[in-house]
Structure 1
Amino acid sequence: MTATPTPDTDDTAAAGGFDAGSEFDRQVSVLVGRGYPALAGMADEAFAELLAPLRASAEKRADAMSPPEEGRVPFLVVVTREVVPVEEMVARTALPRRTQPGVIDRHYKEGDIERFVPTKEAEPPAPRAYLLFDVDRGEEFCGAVPNDAMAAIADRGRTPLTMEEGLALVTQFPAALAKNKCFSLGGSRCGDRRVPALWISQNAPKLGWCWEGNPHTWLGMASAAGRAA
Structure 2
Amino acid sequence: MVKFAQIKGFLFDLDGVIANTSAYHSKAWHQLADELGVTWTEDLGNQLKGVGRMDSLNLILKYGHKENVYTEDEKVKYAEEKNENYLKLLNGLDKSEILPGMEDFIKDLSAHHYLISLASSSKNSPLVLEKLDLRKYFDEKVDPATLKHGKPDPEIYTRAAESLKLKPEECIGLEDASAGVTSINGSGAISVGIGDPTVLKDADINFNNTSEVTLANIEKAMDNKKVLNK
TM bucket, shorter chain: under 0.3
Compute the TM-score of the two structures, normalised by the length of structure 2.
0.25
Bigger relative contact order, structure 1 or 2, given CA contacts below 8 A and separation 6+?
A: 2
State the TM-score, normalized to the length of structure 1: 0.25
Structure ranking higher in helix proportion:
2
